[in-house]
Amino acid sequence: MDKIIIRGGNRLSGTVPVSGAKNAALTLLPCALLTEEPVTLRNLPRLADIDGFQHLLNQFGVSTSIAGARPEDFGRVMTLQATRLTSTVAPYDLVRKMRASILVLGPLLARAGEATVSLPGGCAIGNRPIDLHLKALEAFGAQIELAAGYVRAIAPDGGLPGGDYSFPIVSVGATENALMAAVLARGTSTLHNAAREPEIVDLCNLLVAMGAQIEGIGTSDLTIHGVNRLHGATYMVMPDRIEAGSYACAAAITGGDIILAGARAEDMAATIQALRDANVLVEQVRGGLRIASDGQLRPVTLSTAPYPGLATDMQAQLMAMLCLANGSSVLTETIFENRYMHVPELNRMGAHIETKGRTAIVHGVSKLHGAEVMATDLRASMSLVIAGLAAEGESQVHRLYHLDRGYERLEEKFALIGADVERVGGD
C-alpha cells in the first residue's frame, strides 16, 4: 500500500493549479442518466472516486469516453451517454465503496420510473443517513420500499407528479437527489431549506444547460418546473474550493507565498475569513488567489456549519495549520460526529490538542516533529500532510488511498510549490 514521505521545513512558493471540484463532479456525473443525449464534462479531476462513479454508471449502460487524456495534464474531458438504460440497480459491492453512489437514486427514478440502490451505511466520520433523500422523493410522489439492505423507489405510471418538501435540517446530498428527481416530474416541485453550497449551484447550472427549469438557484428555496425531456450539454466543473483551501493552509503553516490558479473567492468566503483571522494574507489576483504568511499565526475560534458557513471539509486542515498558532484555538464540529480522528495522529507529531465531544481546543506549539501517522479519512489525510510540511524531520502518512479519493496528483502539485513530498510503495 502506498504512503507519502514528507520532509518538512520548506517554505512553499509558486503557483498550484486548482482542480475541478470532487464534490461537484460526483453530483454532475449522474445527470447523464437524465437524457439519452451525450453530456460532456470538462475539468473533471483524476480521482479514485470519479473512476468509481464512472464504473457505477457503466453498470446502468452509460457509455463513457475520455478525450485528449494525457498523463501530464490535470483534469480530463469525459463524455457520457445513456442512450438506453440497461439496469436500474446499484449493487452493494459498488455502493459500499463510495457513499456518493446514492446520487443515482433520483435521476434513475426520474428517467426510468424506478431505482434500486443499496443502502450506503455509515462511514469513518460518522453516520450519514439517507432518510431525507427518501422523504423528499416520497413528497414528489415516489413509493419507497426498504428490504434486504436495499432501497427501491417507484414512480407512479406516467412519472413523478412532483410536490413540495421542506428539509428539517440542511442536507446537501438530499437536495441534490431531489433536484435530479424533480426536473423530469410532470408538475412543479418546491424545496424549502435546501442546501446552498456552490456545488448545488453547479448542479443547477448543468441541469438548466440541459433544459431544466429551476428558480431560486443559490437560495434555500428552489422551484423546479418539470419538463418532458432533457437534452445533452457541455459543462465545465467548478474549481475545488476544498482543495484550494487545503493548499492555502499548507502555505500558511510554512510561511509561504503561493498563487492558487483558478480558485474562486466567492465560493470560499468562510475559509478566507478563517485564514485572515489567523493572520494569513488572502488577496484576489488575476486568475486566482494569492495566499501569503509570515508564519506568525493567530489563534481563532471556528465552528463548521452548512454553507455559507465554514465547510466541515475544511476543519481538519485548519486544525493542522493552527497547531503552530501563537495561542489556543477552539474548533467546534457541528456537521459530523467522529470527525476528530486525526487529533491523536497530529498529537503524535507534537501537537497539543484536546477534544471534548464536538469541541477541540488546539493549543499552539512552537514546533512539530516528523512521525509515522495513519490517515483515517480524506480530509484527515490532508491535515497530516499539512502538519508534515511544517514539521522538523521526516513524516510518513499511511493509507494513501484516502488522499487519492479527493486530491488530484497531490505530490506533483506540492512539488510545483517547493515541497519535498514523495510517494513510495508501502509494505
- Residues 398-411 have pLDDT tens digits of 988 889 889 999 99
Q: Using alpha carbons only, what angle is made at residue 304 by residues 300 and 306, rounded to the nearest 5 degrees? A: 145
Q: Is 130 within any annotated ligand binding site?
A: yes
Per-residue confidence band for 6, with pLDDT thresholds at 50, 70 and 90: very high
Q: Is 193 within any annotated ligand binding site?
A: no
Q: Is 131 within any annotated ligand binding site?
A: yes
Q: Quickly tell me which residue has 496528483 as its cell.
A: 409
Q: Quickly tell me which residue has 418532458 as its cell.
A: 228
Q: Is 413 within any annotated ligand binding site?
A: no
For the chain, domains (ranges, CATH) are: 3-18+239-424 (3.65.10.10), 22-236 (3.65.10.10)
% the chain with pLDDT above 70: 96
**pLDDT tens per residue across span 152-169:** 999 999 999 999 999 999
Q: What is the mean pLDDT of residues 209-215?
A: 98
Residues 370 and 260: their CA atoms lie apart, in Å, by 27
CA nearest 212: which of 180, 239, 236, 235? 180
List of residues 6+ apart from 186 with CB closer than 8 A: 158, 159, 160, 161, 162, 226
Q: Write out the three cell numbers for 405.
A: 479519493
Q: Using alpha carbons only, what angle is made at residue 280 by residues 279 and 282, rounded to the nearest 5 degrees? A: 135
Q: Write out the three cell numbers for 321.
A: 495549520
**pLDDT tens per residue across span 239-297:** 999 999 999 999 999 999 999 999 999 999 999 999 999 999 999 999 999 999 999 99
Q: Is 335 within any annotated ligand binding site?
A: yes
Q: Is 361 within any annotated ligand binding site?
A: no
Asked whether the predicted pLDDT for residue 304 surpasses 80, the reply is: yes
Q: Write out the three cell numbers for 343.
A: 487529533
Burial class of residue 148, CB neighbours in 10 A (0-12, 13-18, 19+): exposed
Residues 231 and 228: their CA atoms lie apart, in Å, by 10
123 is catalytic: yes
CB contact at 8 A, 332 and 359 = yes
How distant, in Å, are the alpha carbons of 97, 142, 171, 246, 426 from that of 118? 11, 17, 19, 32, 32
Per-residue confidence band for 68, with pLDDT thresholds at 50, 70 and 90: low
CB contact at 8 A, 357 and 365 = no
Residues 11 and 207: their CA atoms lie apart, in Å, by 43
Residues 256 and 258: their CA atoms lie apart, in Å, by 6
136 C-beta neighbours (distance < 10 Å), count: 27
Dihedral-angle region of residue 225 (phi above 0 means left; psi in -120 to 50 means alpha; beta otherwise): beta
Q: Quickly tell me which residue has 433544459 as its cell.
A: 211
Go through 10-30 and write b for each residue having 16 or more CB atoms within 10 A of its CB, e for each that does not.
bbbeeebbbbbbbbbbbbbbb
* Catalytic residue from among 31, 123, 204, 323: 123
Residues 262 and 210: their CA atoms lie apart, in Å, by 25
Q: Is 10 within any annotated ligand binding site?
A: no
Q: Is 389 within any annotated ligand binding site?
A: no
Asked whether the predicted pLDDT for residue 125 surpasses 60, the reply is: no
Per-residue confidence band for 129, with pLDDT thresholds at 50, 70 and 90: confident
Residues 421 and 388: their CA atoms lie apart, in Å, by 9
Quick one: CA torsion of 148, 151, 152, 154, rounded to 10 degrees? Answer: 150
**pLDDT tens per residue across span 311-333:** 999 999 999 999 999 999 999 99
Gap between the terminal Cα atoms of the chain: 6
Go through 197-210 and write b for each residue having 16 or more CB atoms within 10 A of its CB, e for each that does not.
bbbbbbbbbbbebb
Residues 342 and 345: their CA atoms lie apart, in Å, by 5
